[in-house]
Amino acid sequence: MSSTPSTPSRRFATWNVNSLAVRLPQLLDWLAANPVDAIVLQETKLTDDKFPAQAINEAGYQVQWFGQKTYNGVALLSREPATDIVRNILGYADEQARVIAGTVGGVRVIGAYFPNGQAPDSDKFTYKMAWLDGLRAWVAEELKQHPDLVLMGDFNIAPEDRDVYDPVAWAGQIHCTPQERDHFKALVDLGMTDAFRLFEQPLKSWSWWDYRNLAFRKNQGLRIDHILVSEALRPRVTACVIDKLPRKNERPSDHAPVIVTID
DNA sequence: ATGACTCCCAGTGGGAGA
């Protein structure tokens, strides 16, 4: 029998809610059933004055948010207050609200909504590549200050063919280009690990299913929402799962939450 | 198959998402 006091395990989650105005009731329901220590949200699609902070506080969560009109928008909810909040990538000037970071219980939590990129020959793809360069440089700096770090969110990158329901059809398409996958690997090369792949997982595990074409019913999706943990945290990760249940709600988000457990 | 659905801002249509 050990007399060493143990730190209780903690759970962190990420969820692209595709409009918090529409999905707030689903978020509150999910948090009641899954009382994680922190969750980062993407695509809140709310200006800061419209953010539903009070309802979130009443559900027992502190919250930091960073939004804009119509598109993007991120938030960091936590049981304990988050400190040292950073909005967007330090050193990369961005008009779009895509990143929020804070320290929760000694763990640096970075929540990010990576650019979609639209198509490999588009201006939006060029922006995605520049944004990814900026993110990597900044995360490298954050890691120096915070060895215990989690980078999670909607990466809009399917890292490998096994993360794609039809890799032949998607070859070279947005989310699956070699350039995007190289950027994912570059984040891994900072010492980060894809927590989901630390464990045996069901085949055909996705985090996003198109609204069209009965994609969820046919389980045709992509795994593009990820939780990357730093080298120091990696040995303490005990589980990582995708929760498909909210995708079965009425009026669901097209993305499912991903949850990591750290002892 | 240049589609399909959903959200937003708009305003009886169109952009964006992935």
A77-132 pLDDT tens trace: 999 999 999 999 999 999 999 999 999 999 999 999 999 999 999 999 999 999 99
Mean of pLDDT values over A142-165: 98
A45 CA, B6 C1': Å apart: 13
Distance between CA atoms of residues A29 and A19, nearest Å: 16
Distance between CA atoms of residues A76 and A100, nearest Å: 7
Q: Is the pTM of this model over 0.85?
A: yes
Position A219 pLDDT exceeds 70: yes
The nucleotide whose C1' lies nearest the CA of A124 is B16
Instruction: Give pLDDT, residue A7.
Output: 65
What is the percent of chain A where pLDDT is above 70? Answer: 97
In this structure, which CATH number among 3.40.50.620, 3.60.10.10, 3.30.110.40, 3.90.550.10 belongs to the domain A10-262? 3.60.10.10
Where in the sequence numbering do the catalytic residues of A fall?
113, 154, 255
Mean of pLDDT values over A202-221: 97
Nucleotides of B under 7 A from a protein CB: 4-9, 16-18
Helix or strand run (H / E) with residue A170: helix A167-170
Mean of pLDDT values over A144-164: 98
Distance between CA atoms of residues A14 and A41, nearest Å: 6
Q: Which residue has the tokens 């990820």?
A: A226
Between the alpha carbon of residue A10 and those of residues A14, A42, A239, the distances in Å are 14, 21, 11
Tokens representing A2 are 């050990």
Between the alpha carbon of residue A57 and those of residues A11, A22, A111, the distances in Å are 19, 18, 19
List, chain by chain, residues whose CB lies under 7 Å from nucleic acid strand B.
A 16, 18-19, 21-22, 43, 45, 69-71, 115-116, 118-119, 124, 154, 156, 174-175, 208, 210-213, 222, 224, 251, 254-255
The nucleotide whose C1' lies nearest the CA of A222 is B18
Q: Find the range with the poorest average confidence among A4-18, A28-42, A172-186.
A: A4-18
Q: Domain spans of chain A?
A: 10-262
